[in-house]
Structure 1
Amino acid sequence: MSYNEAPEEHAATTVQGQCLHNTNTSTSNNPNTNYGEQGPGASPKPTDKERRQKRHTHTHNGAPTCCIHSPSTSPDASAQVLNSLINGIKSQKESSGDPSHHSSLFTDSSGTCVLNNAEPAKEKDEQGKSRKTTIIRRPFPRSNGTDTTLILSAAEKEASLRNKITEAVRSFTNGNKNAASTLAEIARTSGIPASLRQSVWPMLLETHPLVRAEAAGNAAPLRQSGSTPEIPTKRIRAELSRYHRRRKGIPNTRHPSPPRSRSPGIESPGSVPTTESMVSPPDQEALDQAALDSAVEDAVVAYLESRGSAKYSPGMVYVCLTLSDWVFVPPSVSNDQENQSAGLAKAFEQMMAVILWSSPQVPTRTGNMQLLDGVLTRRISHFLTIFRKLLPELAAYFDEEEANGFGEEWVHNWIQWWCSRELSKDDKARLWDFYLGYRPTPRRPLLPTPAGSDDEDVHIDSSDGDGEDEAPPRLVLPGNVNSGAVEAYTPADWHPFVCLALLRACKDALEELELSEIRTLLTRLPRINMDAILREAGKMRKELREVSDREDEEALRRGS
């Protein structure tokens, strides 16, 4: 009997180990007896009771093992057949990482091939009788591969992803700017592995369409009105001190970051510097933290100086700190601190362009211009409106507890600064992978076009950001001054739905809390599955479209 002709079920497991039975075999010496094939002249199949009576075991090194006999072949021939069978199983388990492939394969004194797992044998009971052996049959695929589905292990998938990213980074470094599209797609769909963000994020920022649009003069950053303030250096340093105190007060329950991308402010006291130094680890940690603080301060100050009308916000510090977690290398790892600080400052300026990007000024038919000072207000208003539409019960509870509104700090920080202070390091990095991977498509153009003179609606592309495009919904943004402009689909348009997905994930817990506890939770979110949050955000965009369609239909019925 060949391996390809083996029946679907011919493996069995005992409590002592693993054994294999050939369903086409019998302990009878009659070569004409064949229970495996049914047809004219074939002997009837034995009952389960008869099989149990005919089944027997051998003992090898004190451990009971299951033997396999072939009725029509010699023990040596049976061993050869089984050897090929077992080798197929063994190689399959080795490829899947199954530890049971370490089973021992041997032949007993009669020449019968036996498979025995290296597990201790069960002792006999008090009466000296062997304990009952339970046989559990389980199928395994045929050797021809027709019934086999090869599934890559998580480690193999990650290795393949890393190789693809590494190749794209190498290609981009060699001058192929199109490689950034590959990196952007991976960032959106799978996320960038932690150890590779230091190389990939600067490339995604450099080629980000919103960064390039601002550099080309096609867009203006969101700025707040008011006179140009002095650079608030003391406030920046105070915020950095609060950040370090806050981080040190939280137990380190997050996944450890690679040494090259670990923030000095959260490095463990016992960590050993990778560079040769006579400085003790605690002192090295203090030096790393000082270098980080200096680099963040320089980056924020440089941005404020280059944007004369920009007003400082503590959220800027947390945006820069988020970038430093992945693109800044501390002195304990790199001696080139000048380039490290310059690289962080450049990444921060580019990230601010992405976060604060607003649509170009498009004149309406009445001649009004879109006011940049009102963009954040409209975004918050839009968020609060769809919050009440999609999560009405939670929104009502927040209104009752007075935890919802323009004056709430968590609302401002969530919408404007992309949860840079509230989310954990790894969850925030996965979310920013998605945003940095944004690229315009034909249905998601970067630059909006003026709407028709009779169209009072603002259209927002409802694609999920993964390449799937859908028909845009009819939606009027609340408080939109320029109703004649079509808002481009950007990360800022997507982010309110991410915020709603976060609220939905915490809904049960939030409804049990009081105002102070609600604020505490919303400023320090627990670990979450960010990929699930992104999927939920896509669903909520579709839910909003359905709600808007129903409201339009109801309005038409009332008007008719």
Structure 2
Amino acid sequence: MEVWKFLLGVEKSDRSNEFTQRRARYESYCEIDKENVEVSKRVRGEVNRYLQRTKKEELLDPHTAPAIFEAVICAYLNCNNSIEYSPALIQLCAPFVITMSAEYDVYSCFERLVDTLLAESSLASNINKRIAQFLSYFRTLLPELYNYFEEEELDVGEWTSSWLRNLLAKELPTTCVLTLWDVYFAQPDFIEFHPFVCLAILQHLKDSLEDLEQSEIRSMLLRLPKMNMLRIVSQAHNIRSEIQTRYGSLASPRSL
């Protein structure tokens, strides 16, 4: 996924100064302090759990990957003291560790994505407003499933917060994340489009979810099954058009 570097703006499409730019990023990354004893321990534990969950996919080298995760995440947190460690950082970093050979490329792309997600959360004031908008669309599009979740007394805040914050990196199988992010990074408004992908997933899983009880629903929503993500994305475009027709226009969390 070398193209991700260009789509995320880490590298410029004009390759005339490519070597100079890459050298500058490499040297900048080398200068960052990557030592953080408290964070390192937590990263190692979460990476080990991630490797166990994804062992069958064989996407990461269990011998070399942990050190890359540790260095990249510690470097990012050392440069951003106001940000606290979260296990979600492992899942957000994993696609870059999987697809990129150079550690400084992993860092640059991870930094750009996390900064983008944090900036969007800041513009939206708080995640509660994003959840409220998403649930409004959920109730409109899938009223039967929404009501069933209420009957089962499902804690909607638990899964919706994670889905919306982390681009489904924690919930989807890794191969699905790679496909989805390939689509996302190619479009300028992927964060605004993301809730409709979440709705498409709920629509796709509706029948299965309605056959489950509360604890089983929760388990499925927090660990989603493998899906054809290109079909999900196609359905998400249809859902966005449908909701736009119903609402007249799409409210942005920035305007709430």
Structure 2 length-normalised TM: 0.79
Q: 2:26: which partner in 1? A: none
* CA distance in 2: counterparts of 1:539 and 1:376, whole angstroms: 25
- Is 1:395 the counterpart of 2:152? The answer is no
Is the CA contact 2:200–2:236 (under 8 Å) kept in the aligned structure 1?
A: yes
Shift of 1:516: 1.4
Q: Greater relative contact order (Cα 8 A, min sep 6): structure 1 or 2?
A: 2
- The answer to whether the 8 A contact 1:387-1:395 is kept is yes
How many residues of Structure 1 are paired with residues of Structure 2 in the alignment?
226
Equivalence map 1:366-515=2 (5 Å) = 372=123, 374-406=125-157, 408=158, 410-439=159-188, 490-515=189-214
Structure 2 CA distance for aligned equivalents of residues 387 and 236 of structure 1:
34
Q: Which residue of 43, 59, 62 maps to 1:263?
A: 59
Deviations 1:289-318 (A, max 9, x none): 232111111111111111121122211110
Question: What's 2:218 paired with?
Answer: 519
What amino acid is aligned across from residue 116 of structure 2 in structure 1?
V
1:247 aligned residue (54, 57, 65): 54
- Distance verdict in 2 for CA 1:416–1:208, change over 3 Å: farther
Q: Deviations over 1:95-154 (max 9, x none)?
A: xxxxxxxxxxxxxxxxxxxxxxxxxxxxxxxxxxxxxxxxxxxxxxxxxxxxxxxxxxxx
Instruction: Tell me, yes or no, if the aligned pair for 2:10 and 2:109 is still in contact at 8 Å.
Output: no
- SS of 1:527's partner is coil
- 1:172-216 Cα deviation digits (max 9, x unpaired): xxxxxxxxxxxxxxxxxxxxxxxxx1x22222223599xxxxxxx
1:353 and 2:115 are equivalent in the alignment: yes
The residue that corresponds to 2:9 in the other structure is 206
Aligned partners of 1:320 and 1:348 also within 8 Å: yes
Aligned 1:21-420 pairs, distance under 5 A: 197=1, 199-206=2-9, 232-248=39-55, 252=56, 263-264=59-60, 288-328=61-101, 340-358=102-120, 372=123, 374-406=125-157, 408=158, 410-420=159-169
Contact 1:497 1:541 in 2 (8 A): yes
SS at match of 2:179: helix
Instruction: Supply the distance in 2 between the matched residues of 1:208 and 1:356 (Cα, whole angstroms).
Output: 21
Give 5+ residue unaligned stretches, structure 1.
Answer: 1-196, 210-229, 255-261, 265-287, 329-339, 360-370, 440-489, 551-560
Q: Deviations over 1:452-485 (max 9, x none)?
A: xxxxxxxxxxxxxxxxxxxxxxxxxxxxxxxxxx
Q: Residue 235 of structure 1 aligns to which amino acid in structure 2?
A: R
SS of 1:497's equivalent in the other structure is: helix
Instruction: Tell me how far apart the structure 2 counterparts of residues 311 and 391 of structure 1 sit (CA, whole Å).
Output: 35
- Over 3 Å counting, the alpha-carbon distance change for 1:208 and 1:401 in structure 2 is farther
1:425, distance to aligned residue in structure 2 (A): 2.4
Give the TM-score of the pair, scaled to structure 1: 0.38
* Post-superposition CA distance 1:4-33 (Å, at most 9, x none): xxxxxxxxxxxxxxxxxxxxxxxxxxxxxx
CA distance in 2, matches of 1:384, 1:294: 39
Please state how far the C-alpha of 1:394 moved relative to its aligned partner: 0.5
Q: Deviations over 1:505-558 (max 9, x none)?
A: 0000000001111122112222212111111111111221222249xxxxxxxx
Percent of residue pairs bearing the same amino acid type = 36
Specify the alignment match of 2:236 in structure 1. 537
Give the residue type in structure 1 aligned to 2:59: S
CA distance in 2, matches of 1:377, 1:507: 24
Query: CA RMSD of the aligned region, Å?
Result: 2.5
User: Are the counterparts in 1 of residues 97 and 106 from structure 2 also a CA contact under 8 Å?
Assistant: yes
Separation of aligned partners in 1, 2:72 and 2:38: 12
Structure (1 or 2) with the larger CA radius of gyration = 1
CA distance in 2, matches of 1:372, 1:233: 30
1:405-447 residue CA offsets vs partner (Å, 9 max, x unmatched): 22x1x222211111112212222112101111123xxxxxxxx
Alpha-carbon distance change, 292 to 376 in structure 1, aligned in 2, over 3 angstroms: same
Q: CA deviation at 1:376?
A: 2.3
